[in-house]
């Protein structure tokens, strides 16, 4: 989620969509507005000036030519002035780029019969409208044009409203649409690594709700499958262990030592296989809670147990290191790794160290034959068998698969590496879930 190109995010796309659509809508409305009702384009000032022109023209028509100058002087103010004009060539051409629409509107506003000869601009924000009186006298009206540099207030408000509403809608969209979707994606991602999470709450728009519902139902089905599998295996193991117990006790009553020992070995092997299958199934839906644990004590305990069973193991690592983990599961994983190592190697070293600031690694190293590169990934698969030489060791081939599952539960990794000159190095790396607590003692 975090690594997605920001232009591909729904949030970004919604914001862009909202901004574009409101811009298009506004442009469309503006276009319709100006085509259908051009008068609205004209600010009140011009309307006032048109009214003045009408009054002045009527007055001038009514007065004798001698008194006309007096009237014109009386109407003169900052934004409006009228003057009599001599008829000269060149004075009558339109110089201002006034659209035909505005020109005709302007003409329509004046009393019928008024002859507008030209609308001129001196290029300095001033208009000049030249009209002709009935006796042929030319009158020029000078008017200040509206300051076109400023957006008229309504337009400015509209744009501001558009920006604010786009922003608010974006916030709403992100919260309402995107966050349920993001939560959904996170939950789907997490499912299987920590399946004890509760079902997702169905929220957001219908489609997301639908997807969430579908996910929850799938989650139910998968959990039921896992549970069925676990229950089945528990039942099988119970039903196998009862006859195995009888067999174990019967062997005890045998007199001959040699076959007895071999039979006991086989019984132990069978029991270990059942135990590993149970353990593998249980890692799928581990019920253990994450807790702070002292890792060296866990590693040393397991090393000691192998030592007691006659496999000396060298432990290297800090004396104290607290990490948040699933101690029982981690113990099983480590037991399997060491078990594998002591089967094939004569000397085994277990190393615990902090790797970088965020990881802890546990390495189990043996001096056995190692595993060829081609098989390194395969041996991590459940039920995989290596060549005949290794097969004699027995079990379902689940040990490393269990260790890998445990590593994944800890959001960590399990890698198998070559050790020089020969042997295998199994490295289990898990992130320290609570970095502030974790510190090697010395």
Partner 1 sequence: MYKEAAMRSPHILVVEDDREIRAMVSRFLTKNGCRVTETGDAASMGRALETARIDLIVLDIMLPGEDGLSICRRLRATSSTPIIMLTAAGDPVARVVGLEMGADDYVAKPFDPHELLARIRAVLRRATALPDGPGAPTQAMRFADWRIDPIARDLRNPEGARVILTSAEFDLLLAFCRHAQRTLTRDQLLDLSQGRGTETMNRSVDILVSRIRRKIERDPRDPAFIKTVRSGGYVFTPQVATD
Q: Using CB under 8 A as the criterion, which residues of the chain lie in contact with partner 1 when the complex forms?
A: 234, 237-238, 241-242, 244-250, 252-253, 267, 271, 275, 278, 287, 291-294, 297-298, 300-301, 304-305, 308, 319-320, 322, 327-328, 331, 437
Min dist. Cβ of residue 308 to partner 1 (A): 6
Long-range residue pairs from 419-423, CB within 8 A, at least 24 positions apart, any chain: 419/365, 419/366, 419/367, 419/370, 422/367, 422/368, 422/369, 422/370, 423/345, 423/365, 423/366, 423/367, 423/368, 423/369, 423/370
Min dist. Cβ of residue 274 to partner 1 (A): 8
Nearer to partner 1 among residue 217 and residue 250 (C-beta): 250
Nearest Cα residue to 50 out of 154, 177, 141, 161: 141
Give the helix/strand (H/E) hosting 266.
helix 257-284
Min dist. Cβ of residue 415 to partner 1 (A): 24
Min dist. Cβ of residue 243 to partner 1 (A): 9
Min dist. Cβ of residue 235 to partner 1 (A): 10
Distances (CA, A) of 187 to 67, 226, 285: 91, 18, 16
Q: At what angle do helices 206-253 and 257-284 cross, to 10 degrees?
A: 170
Nearest Cα residue to 322 out of 299, 352, 292, 350: 292
Half-sphere CA count of 125, side-chain side, radius 13 A: 8
Distance CA 7, CA 405 (A): 36
Q: At what angle do helices 295-308 and 327-344 cross, to 10 degrees?
A: 40
Nearer to partner 1 among residue 95 and residue 305 (C-beta): 305
Min dist. Cβ of residue 270 to partner 1 (A): 9
Min dist. Cβ of residue 193 to partner 1 (A): 21
Nearer to partner 1 among residue 268 and residue 381 (C-beta): 268
What is 87-120 written as a DSSP string? --TTTTS--S---HHHHHHHHHHSPTT-EEEEEE
Nearer to partner 1 among residue 72 and residue 350 (C-beta): 350
Min dist. Cβ of residue 246 to partner 1 (A): 5
Nearer to partner 1 among residue 177 and residue 233 (C-beta): 233
Nearer to partner 1 among residue 60 and residue 281 (C-beta): 281
Nearer to partner 1 among residue 86 and residue 308 (C-beta): 308
Q: Are 81 and 141 in contact (CB under 8 A)?
A: yes
Nearest Cα residue to 291 out of 329, 317, 318, 320: 329
Nearer to partner 1 among residue 237 and residue 349 (C-beta): 237
């Amino acid at each position: 989620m975090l690594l997605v190109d920001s232009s591909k995010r729904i949030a970004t796309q919604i914001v862009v969509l909202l901004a574009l659509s409101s811009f298009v809508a506004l442009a469309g409305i503006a276009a319709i507005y100006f085509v259908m009702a051009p008068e609205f384009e004209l600010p009140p000032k011009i309307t006032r000036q048109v009214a003045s022109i009408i009054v002045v023209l009527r007055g001038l028509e009514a007065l004798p030519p001698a008194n006309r100058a007096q009237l014109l002087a009386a109407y003169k103010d900052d934004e409006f002035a009228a003057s009599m004009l001599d008829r000269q060539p060149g004075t009558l051409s339109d110089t201002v780029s006034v659209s035909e629409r505005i020109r005709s509107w302007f003409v329509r506003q004046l009393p019928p019969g008024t002859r507008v000869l030209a609308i001129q601009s001196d290029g300095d924000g001033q208009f000049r409208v030249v009209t002709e009186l009935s006796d042929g006298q030319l009158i020029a009206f000078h008017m200040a044009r509206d300051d076109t540099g400023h957006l008229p207030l309504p337009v400015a408000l509209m744009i501001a409203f558009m920006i604010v509403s786009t922003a608010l809608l974006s916030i709403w969209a992100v919260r309402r649409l995107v966050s349920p979707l993001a939560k959904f994606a996170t939950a789907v991602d997490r499912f299987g690594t920590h399946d004890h999470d509760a079902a997702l709450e169905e929220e957001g728009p219908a489609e997301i709700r639908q997807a969430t519902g579908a996910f929850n139902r799938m989650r139910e089905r998968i959990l039921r499958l896992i549970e069925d599998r676990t229950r089945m295996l528990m039942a099988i193991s119970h039903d196998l262990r009862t006859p195995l117990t009888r067999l174990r006790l019967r062997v005890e009553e045998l007199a001959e030592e040699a076959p007895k020992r071999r039979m006991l070995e086989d019984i132990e092997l069978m029991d270990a296989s059942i135990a590993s299958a149970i353990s593998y199934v249980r890692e799928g839906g581990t019920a253990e809670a994450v807790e702070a644990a002292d890792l060296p004590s866990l590693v040393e305990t397991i090393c000691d147990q192998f030592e007691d069973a006659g496999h000396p193991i060298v432990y290297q690592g800090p004396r104290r290191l607290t990490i948040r983990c699933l101690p029982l599961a981690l113990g099983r994983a480590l037991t399997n790794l060491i078990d594998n190592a002591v089967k094939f190697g004569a000397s085994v070293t277990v190393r615990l160290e902090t790797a970088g600031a965020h990881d802890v690694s546990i390495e189990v190293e043996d001096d056995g034959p190692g595993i060829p590169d081609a098989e390194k990934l395969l041996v991590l698969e459940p039920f995989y068998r290596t060549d005949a030489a290794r097969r004699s060791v027995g079990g379902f081939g689940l040990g490393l698969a269990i260790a890998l599952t445990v590593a994944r539960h800890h959001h960590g990794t399990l890698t198998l590496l070559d050790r020089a000159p020969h042997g295998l190095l199994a490295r289990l790396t898990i992130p320290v879930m609570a970095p502030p607590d974790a510190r090697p003692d010395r």
